[in-house]
C-alpha cells in the first residue's frame, strides 16, 4: 500500500462522484437563490431544492413538507431539543436522554438545564443499549421529549428505536432521534419507528459537508417548534437563512444512491468488518470489543487493546486513518464519554480505537490494515512490557 487507508467513515465520508456531478451545475450557471421568487434563476434553484427535499423525505418515509434544511446535524439536534422545550408551554419541562448521545444532544440538554429545564440522563447497559424499563420509569407528567440516537457514532450500537418510539407514543411524549449514522445505511421509517423529530446529515452518507435536515412530524401528532434562528422566515419559519442549494442538491442525490445501493452495501461492509475483527483476534490477545456485536452498524468496530496507549498506536500507524473516538470530541481529554458510560475501565479507555468502514473500503485495505495493527500492537507491547 502506497496511500493512507481511510478507515474513519464515522467522522465523515468522501463525496460520491455521482453526488458531486449533481452538485456542480449549482456552483456555476444554476447559481440562483431559492428564495428569489421573481425570476427564472430563483425558480430553478427552488425547484432543485424541492426535488432534493422529496428525495430525503422518501428515504425517511416522510412527507416532503416535514423536512427542514439546516447547516448540519448539530444544528438539527439543537433545533429539536431547544425548539420543543421553548414551544412546550410547561413551567419546568423535562427531557430524557442517554449518556452515550452525541455531544450536540448532551450539550444542548445541558444548556437547557441551565435555563431551568429538568434533564434526566440515563446510563446504558454495558452492551451500550438503553434499558427500556428505566426509560419508562424516567418519563413523567412534565416530560416533553425523549432523545435517543439511532446508531452510536463511536461504538456503532443500534438502539431499539421502534420500541423507544412505542414507549413515547404510549405516554404522549415526543421522540427525537439523532439518526446521522444510520440514515442512508439501512432502511429508516419515521412512521414505523414512531419518530417525531429526526436529525440527519449529508456528509455521513457520501454527500457534502455543511448541510443537514431535521424531520418534524406534521400530524399525529403535529410537532410544534420555536425557531432558534430568526431573519427571513425560511423553511416555514423554522430555520431562517439562505439555503445552501448545491449542498441540498448533493444531499438529495446521496439519498437516491443510498436507496438503490444500501442493502448490498450493508451486507458487504458487515463481511469486511467481521473479517477485520477476526484477524485482530487471531493475531492478538487482549482485544476487547466495545458495545454489542448483535445490534451494530455493519461498518463499525470499536476495540481496546490491552497494554497499549491509543495515541501511541495512532502515531505508529501513519498509513491508517482511524480515530480514538468522535471527531467532534477529538481534542477532549479524559477518554470517551461513550466508553465511560458503558463501563470501560480506565486501563483500557486510552487504547480505544474506532474503525469505520465505508463505501470505498476494499478487502485488500482491510487485510493490510489488520496486518499492520497486529504488527504495531505487538511491537508496542514489547517496548512497554507489563
Helix, coil or strand: residue 197: strand
324 burial type by CB count under 10 A (0-12 exposed, 13-18 middle, 19+ buried) = buried
pLDDT digits (tens, 9 = 90+) for 290-305: 999 999 999 999 999 9
Pick the CATH number of 17-256 from 3.40.109.10, 3.40.640.10, 3.40.50.970, 3.90.870.40: 3.40.640.10
Q: Which three cell numbers stand for residue 189?
A: 421509517
The pLDDT, as a whole number, for residue 328 is 53
User: H helices then E strands: how many in the chain?
Assistant: 11, 12
Furthest-apart CA atoms within the chain: distance in Å: 73
Q: What percentage of residues in the chain have a pLDDT greater than 70? A: 96
List where CATH 3.90.1150.10 sits in the chain.
5-12+261-377
Residue 312: how many CB atoms within 10 A of its CB?
Answer: 16
List where CATH 3.40.640.10 sits in the chain.
17-256
Indicate if the pLDDT at residue 236 is higher than 90: no
Whether the pTM exceeds 0.75: the reply is: yes
pLDDT digits (tens, 9 = 90+) for 351-368: 999 999 999 999 999 999
Burial 272-308 (b: 16+ CB within 10 A, else e): bbeebbebbeeebeebeebbbeeebbbbbbbbbbeeb
Indicate if the pLDDT at residue 163 is higher than 90: yes
pLDDT digits (tens, 9 = 90+) for 123-133: 999 999 999 99
Output helix, strand, coil percentages for the chain, rounded to the nearest 5.
Answer: 40, 15, 40
**Which candidate in 117, 168, 255, 328 is catalytic?**
328
Please list, in sequence order, all residues whose beta carbon lies within 8 angstroms of the beta carbon of residue 103, skipping any fewer than 6 positions away. 326, 328, 329, 337
pLDDT digits (tens, 9 = 90+) for 168-196: 999 999 999 999 999 999 999 999 999 99
Q: How confident is the model at residue 206 (pLDDT cuts 50, 70, 90)?
A: very high
pLDDT digits (tens, 9 = 90+) for 323-339: 986 555 544 556 899 99
Please list, in sequence order, all residues whose beta carbon lies within 8 angstroms of the beta carbon of residue 150, skipping any fewer than 6 positions away. 158, 159, 161, 177, 178, 179, 180, 181, 182, 183, 188
Range list of β-strands (E), the chain: 5-6, 67-70, 94-98, 118-122, 143-147, 174-178, 197-201, 212-216, 287-289, 300-305, 320-321, 353-356
Indicate if the pLDDT at residue 262 is higher than 70: yes
Q: How far is 55 from 10, CA to CA, in rounded Å?
A: 23
Please name every residue paired with 201 in a beta bridge, in sequence order, or none if there are none. Answer: 212
The pLDDT, as a whole number, for residue 1 is 60
In the annotation, is 328 catalytic?
A: yes
pLDDT digits (tens, 9 = 90+) for 101-111: 999 999 999 99
Q: How confident is the model at residue 232 (pLDDT cuts 50, 70, 90)?
A: confident
- Domain 5-12+261-377 class, CATH top level: alpha beta
pLDDT, averaged across the chain: 95
Average pLDDT of 78-101? 96
Amino acid at each position: 500500500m502506497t496511500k493512507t487507508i481511510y478507515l474513519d467513515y464515522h467522522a465523515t465520508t468522501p463525496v460520491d462522484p455521482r453526488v458531486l456531478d449533481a452538485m456542480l451545475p449549482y456552483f456555476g450557471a444554476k447559481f440562483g437563490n431559492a428564495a428569489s421568487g421573481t425570476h427564472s434563476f430563483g425558480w430553478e434553484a427552488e425547484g432543485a431544492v424541492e426535488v432534493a427535499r422529496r428525495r430525503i423525505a422518501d428515504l425517511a418515509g416522510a412527507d416532503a413538507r416535514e423536512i427542514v434544511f439546516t447547516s448540519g446535524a448539530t444544528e438539527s439536534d439543537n433545533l429539536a431539543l431547544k425548539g420543543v422545550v421553548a414551544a412546550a408551554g410547561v413551567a419546568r419541562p423535562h427531557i430524557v436522554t442517554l449518556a452515550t448521545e452525541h455531544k450536540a444532544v448532551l450539550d444542548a440538554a445541558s444548556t437547557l438545564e441551565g435555563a431551568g429545564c429538568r434533564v434526566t440522563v440515563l446510563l446504558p447497559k454495558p452492551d451500550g443499549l438503553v434499558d427500556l424499563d428505566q426509560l419508562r420509569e424516567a418519563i413523567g407528567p412534565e416530560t416533553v421529549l425523549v432523545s435517543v440516537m439511532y446508531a452510536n457514532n463511536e461504538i456503532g450500537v443500534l438502539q431499539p428505536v421502534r420500541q423507544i418510539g412505542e414507549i413515547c407514543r404510549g405516554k404522549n411524549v415526543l421522540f427525537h432521534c439523532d439518526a446521522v449514522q444510520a440514515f442512508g445505511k439501512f432502511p429508516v421509517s419515521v412512521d414505523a419507528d414512531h419518530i417525531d423529530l429526526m436529525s440527519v446529515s449529508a456528509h455521513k452518507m457520501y454527500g457534502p459537508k455543511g448541510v443537514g435536515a431535521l424531520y418534524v412530524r406534521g400530524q399525529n401528532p403535529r410537532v410544534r417548534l420555536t425557531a432558534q434562528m430568526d431573519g427571513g422566515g425560511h423553511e416555514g419559519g423554522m430555520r431562517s437563512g439562505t439555503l445552501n442549494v448545491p449542498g441540498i442538491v448533493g444531499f438529495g442525490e446521496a439519498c437516491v444512491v443510498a436507496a438503490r445501493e444500501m442493502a448490498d452495501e450493508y451486507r458487504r461492509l458487515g463481511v469486511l468488518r467481521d473479517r477485520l475483527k477476526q484477524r485482530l483476534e487471531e493475531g492478538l490477545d487482549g482485544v476487547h470489543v466495545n458495545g454489542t456485536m448483535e445490534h451494530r452498524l455493519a461498518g463499525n468496530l470499536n476495540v481496546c487493546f490491552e497494554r497499549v496507549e491509543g495515541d501511541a498506536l495512532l502515531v505508529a500507524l501513519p498509513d491508517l486513518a482511524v480515530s480514538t473516538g468522535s471527531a467532534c470530541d477529538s481534542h477532549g481529554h479524559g477518554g470517551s464519554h461513550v466508553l465511560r458510560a458503558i463501563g470501560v475501565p480506565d486501563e483500557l479507555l486510552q487504547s480505544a480505537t474506532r474503525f469505520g468502514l465505508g463505501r470505498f473500503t476494499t478487502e485488500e485495505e482491510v487485510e493490510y490494515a489488520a496486518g499492520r495493527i497486529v504488527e504495531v500492537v505487538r511491537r508496542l507491547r514489547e517496548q512497554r512490557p507489563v
